């Protein structure tokens, strides 16, 4: 009997230790906060009308959060400055154009689409299947773009990725003169591929552009998925390898971090998230046109993660929300009415990107480390300052 009690006490102690270890890793308030935020996220659309400008801006903002989380893997975790991220937006959006419209009119393929579209010509895949296609296409493209940069250091990586982004933009614009046979071309250039399929889920039905709530929940789900993957990646072996490479490539390689594989994984995974977001934005815009894929898009997403705090997941989320709300809600919907309300007779649309630029400068000058700096980097910054202070004290003595 005594033995049994001893055994039970032992087990109990082990269980408590395990529970405490778990709690130490993820404190209760953190879990409560996460649950509360997800809850608020789910019920948020009920507070706004289906077609309000705020709803549209929120959907786009969440898509940009996914973009920013993807770029954060490449630039923030692995330290590879990528200025051509627009390439993956383009490939994602074109995935919808290719596999979810009547663009390839000679084909006649339908997989799990609504009854309405199943009679149309072209390739029509279910939205989830298009997502999978985009993941495959963009991860391969990400690795291809990554290959020539393996030997280069940071700013050269920036210019090579920029070059790839621009080349993909040029190919998209001139895709009308790349013939695939049978009168089909690669892209529709600046005219755009119109009338993309709206997402359809068996049992739920087809989305439409008058009711924005389903769109919101869809992108919210994608965002949660990507956020979860990102959090798990950061603490994984791969994530630590990225950070090691970022901090000191030579040291990391000599400790046995496989350089090529680790860097290519960063490009591929970052590209994948960009592609997923691109699929969603393409479907939400219902058209994919070459003039959407400008260099300024890459800069916009990069600004999000730097304003948020480079390498920090929550910083990327916050930065993406902040800058997209400024760009898609504050400037067009709120500030534009301001001069009129004040009795002035001019429009702010002319000033929109000047205001945006001014806000960028302001945020960075006031908070150079970003709104929500990564824990590791914050430690580095404060540690450096403490060391400097110690030196100063020593010098004074």
Partner 1 sequence: MPEPAVRVLAALRRYAGRWGLYVALVALPAYYGIHDLTHGYQAGFQAGHPVVRHDLTQLGFNLVEGLSNGAIWALIAMGYTLVYGIIELINFAHGDVFMIGSFVAVGLWGTLGLGLATGPVGLIAGLLLTLLVCMAVCGSLNVLIERVAYRPLRNAPKLAPLITAVGCSFILQNVGLLWLGSSPQGVNDLIRENDTVFQISGVIVHRADVLALGVMIPLVIALTWFITNTRQGRAMRATAQDPEAARLMGINVNTTISLTFLLGGMLAGAAGLVYALYETTVWYFQGFEAGLIAFTAAVMGGIGNVRGAVLGGLIIGCIQELSDSRLGPQWTEAVVFGYLILVMVLRPRGLLGEETREAG
Give the footprint of partner 1 on this chain (CB under 8 A): 75, 81, 148-149, 151-153, 155-156, 158-160, 162-164, 166-167, 169-171, 173-174, 295, 299, 302-303, 306-307, 310, 350-351, 353-354, 356-361, 364-365, 368-370, 377
Structure tokens at 55: 């709803």
CB nearer to partner 1: give 20 or 247: 247
Sole residue written with tokens 């990564």: 374
Q: Nearest distance from residue 285's CB to partner 1, in Å? A: 23
Write b or e for each residue in 215-254: b if 16 or more Cβ atoms lie within 10 A of its Cβ, otherwise e. bbebbbebbeebbebbeebbeeebbebbbbbbeeeeebee
CB nearer to partner 1: give 1 or 365: 365
Q: Nearest distance from residue 345's CB to partner 1, in Å? A: 16
If phi > 0 it is left, if psi is from -120 to 50 it is alpha, else beta; for residue 27 that is beta
Element (H, E) at 27: none
Spell out the residues 6+ positions from residue 36 whose beta carbon is closer than 8 angstroms to its own. none
CB nearer to partner 1: give 20 or 155: 155
Task: Kindly give the residue spans of alpha helices, DSSP state H, lying in the chain.
Answer: 2-25, 28-43, 53-71, 86-99, 127-146, 154-173, 213-234, 237-247, 249-254, 259-285, 295-308, 313-325, 338-341, 352-366, 375-396
Q: Nearest distance from residue 53's CB to partner 1, in Å? A: 23
Spell out the residues 6+ positions from residue 233 whose beta carbon is closer than 8 angstroms to its own. 73, 77, 239, 269
Q: Nearest distance from residue 358's CB to partner 1, in Å? A: 6
Q: Nearest distance from residue 39's CB to partner 1, in Å? A: 33
CB nearer to partner 1: give 96 or 302: 302
Q: Nearest distance from residue 52's CB to partner 1, in Å? A: 28
Beta bridge partners of 110: 124
CB nearer to partner 1: give 45 or 189: 189
CB nearer to partner 1: give 129 or 299: 299
CB nearer to partner 1: give 32 or 159: 159
Q: Nearest distance from residue 386's CB to partner 1, in Å? A: 15
**Dihedral sign of CA atoms 141, 142, 145, 150 in order:** negative
* Alpha carbon distance 327, 321 (integer Å): 10
């Amino acid at each position: 009997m005594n033995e049994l009690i001893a055994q039970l006490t032992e087990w109990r102690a082990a269980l408590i230790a395990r529970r405490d270890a778990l709690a130490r890793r993820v404190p209760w308030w953190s879990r409560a906060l996460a649950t509360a935020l997800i809850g608020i996220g789910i019920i948020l659309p009920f507070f706004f009308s289906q077609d309000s400008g705020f709803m549209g801006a929120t959907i786009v903002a969440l898509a940009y959060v996914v973009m920013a989380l993807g770029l954060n893997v490449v630039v923030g975790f692995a330290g590879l400055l990528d200025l051509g991220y627009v390439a993956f937006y383009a490939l994602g959006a074109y995935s919808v154009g290719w596999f979810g419209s009547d663009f390839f009119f000679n084909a006649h393929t339908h997989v799990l689409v609504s009854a309405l579209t199943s009679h149309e010509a072209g390739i029509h895949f279910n939205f989830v299947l298009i997502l999978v296609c985009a993941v495959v296409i963009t991860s391969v493209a990400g690795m291809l773009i990554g290959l020539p940069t393996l030997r280069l250091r940071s700013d050269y990586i920036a210019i090579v990725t920029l070059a790839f982004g621009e080349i993909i933009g040029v190919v998209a614009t001139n895709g009308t003169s790349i013939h695939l046979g049978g009168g089909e071309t690669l892209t529709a250039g600046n005219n755009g591929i119109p009338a993309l399929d709206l997402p359809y889920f068996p049992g739920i039905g087809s989305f439409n552009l008058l009711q924005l709530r389903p769109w919101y929940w869809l992108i919210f789900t994608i965002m949660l998925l990507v956020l979860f993957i990102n959090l798990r990646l950061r603490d994984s072996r791969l994530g630590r390898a990225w950070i090691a490479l970022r901090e000191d490539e030579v040291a990391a390689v000599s400790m046995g971090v496989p350089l090529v594989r680790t860097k290519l994984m960063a490009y591929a995974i970052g590209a994948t998230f960009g592609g997923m977001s691109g699929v969603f934005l393409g479907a939400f815009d219902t058209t994919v046109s070459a003039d959407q894929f400008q260099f300024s898009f890459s800069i916009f997403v990069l600004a999000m993660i730097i304003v948020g705090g480079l390498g920090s997941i929550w910083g990327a989320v916050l930065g993406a929300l902040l800058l997209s709300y400024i760009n898609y809600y504050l400037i067009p919907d709120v500030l534009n009415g301001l001069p009129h309300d004040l009795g002035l007779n001019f429009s702010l649309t002319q000033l929109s990107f000047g205001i945006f630029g001014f806000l960028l400068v302001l945020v960075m000058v006031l908070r150079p480390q970003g709104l929500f700096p990564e824990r590791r980097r914050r430690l580095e910054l404060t540690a450096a300052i403490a060391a400097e202070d110690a030196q100063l004290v020593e010098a004074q003595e």
